[in-house]
Structure formats: structure tokens, C-alpha cells
Amino acid sequence: MTEKKRTLLDIDPADRARLLASATAYAAGRRTYVVGAVSDVVAANAGRLDAAAREALADAIRPAADAGDSIDAPAWTRALAALETAAPDDLDGLDGNAVDLRILLFCAFRHDMGGDAGLWTRLLEDPTALDGQWCAIAARDLYEAGYAPQGAPEPPIQHLEPLGDAGDPAWADVYMALVGGAE
């Protein structure tokens, strides 16, 4: 059987490296399906990273690979091996299967929430980068974390009440872009 891959995001190399680093930081130690998804995408894209980005990811992954955790270690070990042996690949985009890429985006987004919103602002400027379902779930996450501005529409999917008021205008702008409004 041939594994199907497709380019989901046509992003610049720095943003690609940041997505992979953020998703890896979020997934490390989770002991859930996200570890396999994130490690598979890291391995599939290892050759598209420059040496510094590969080394930074390897440094982040090595403790999880070396931990001996029977759940996470095999996946991180495969990703680490791919990073250490990757042949240069100058293709654009971020490859992997659609499910793994969606999981990677969610992991990176959840890691980045409350930090620098710049990457997510850039991705939302491209109408083909993130699909509607992804945007709805990400909006829910921001809403529940208190990043929706006062009086903003609620996310279009089931949600909890906001857990506070984070008051970060950059993330408020991301929230408004996700729900299709303008601040």
C-alpha cells in the first residue's frame, strides 16, 4: 500500500520549523495519540528543516526518546532518527497525512496560546491554510481560555463559559478572525 501524503500548508521555512517545535513541545510527555501524530509529521518533514531547526527539535525530543516510556519512546525515537539522518529536501509546505497534520496544528496552536500570536495571524490571512472545522475548534479553545473580546460572537461549536479574561489584543484579533468577525 502506498502512503498518501499531501501538502497542507505552503508556509515559509521559519514558520514550518516553529509549528513543528510548538507541536513537539505540546505533545512531549502526553502519552496520547498526539505523540504518534506529531512525531510522524516531524519525521516526514525532517529534511525540510535547516540544520539548526533539526538540532533544536532533536534536543527537545531526545529526553522523551531516552525516557524509556513504553508508550511515547518508540514514536519519539523514530522522529529523532529521522532528524539525525534526514537528507535535504527543498520542497515547500508541510507534508503528512491529513489527520496527523490537523493534530499537529492543534498541538502547536494550544502550545502557542497566550504567547506570540504572529504565526497564527499570518496563517489566518491565507484562506486555504486552515479549514472551517479547525477554525471553529481553535476559536472554542480561545473562547474558553478567555481570549475572546468582550461582546464578541461565541464560537460556532459547543463550548464552556470563558474561564477568565486574558485581555491579550493579539489573541483577541486571532479569535475574531477565527469566528469571521472584525474587531
Domain that holds residue 145: 114-183
Q: Does residue 18 sit in the same domain as residue 85?
A: yes
Q: How far apart are CA 52 and CA 158, in angstroms?
A: 41
> Comparing C-alpha atoms, which of 70, 56, 43 is closest to residue 14?
56
For residue 92, what is its C-alpha cell?
Answer: 515547500
Q: Does residue 62 sit in the same domain as residue 130?
A: no
Q: Does residue 32 sit in the same domain as residue 108?
A: yes
Q: Does residue 93 sit in the same domain as residue 119?
A: no
Looking at 67, 89, 112, the residue that finishes a domain is 112
- Could you give the number of structural domains in the chain? 2
**Predicted confidence (pLDDT) at residue 37 exceeds the cutoff of 60:** yes
Do 78 and 49 meet the contact criterion of CB atoms below 8 Å apart? no
Q: Does residue 101 sit in the same domain as residue 136?
A: no
For residue 138, what is its C-alpha cell?
Answer: 481553535
Alpha helices in 46-156 (DSSP H): 51-66, 73-85, 98-112, 118-125, 132-144
Kindly report, residue by residue over 52-97, the tens digit of the pLDDT.
Answer: 999 999 999 999 888 877 888 999 999 999 999 999 988 888 888 8
As to burial, measured by CB atoms within 10 angstroms (0-12 exposed, 13-18 middle, 19+ buried), residue 71 is exposed
- Average pLDDT score, the chain: 87
> Comparing C-alpha atoms, which of 78, 21, 10, 22 is closest to residue 54?
21
Number of C-beta neighbours around residue 67 at 10 A: 13
Note the pLDDT of residue 163. Answer: 67
Q: How far apart are CA 17 and CA 125, in angstroms?
A: 19
**Predicted confidence (pLDDT) at residue 8 exceeds the cutoff of 70:** no
Looking at 93, 112, 131, the residue that finishes a domain is 112
Q: Does residue 98 sit in the same domain as residue 130?
A: no
Looking at 68, 89, 112, the residue that finishes a domain is 112
Do 35 and 60 meet the contact criterion of CB atoms below 8 Å apart? no
Note the pLDDT of residue 68. Answer: 74
Query: Given pLDDT bands bounded at 50, 70 and 90, which one contains residue 151?
Result: confident
Q: Does residue 149 sit in the same domain as residue 182?
A: yes
pTM (2 d.p.): 0.87
Q: Does residue 76 sit in the same domain as residue 157?
A: no
Q: How far apart are CA 160 and CA 145, in angstroms?
A: 10
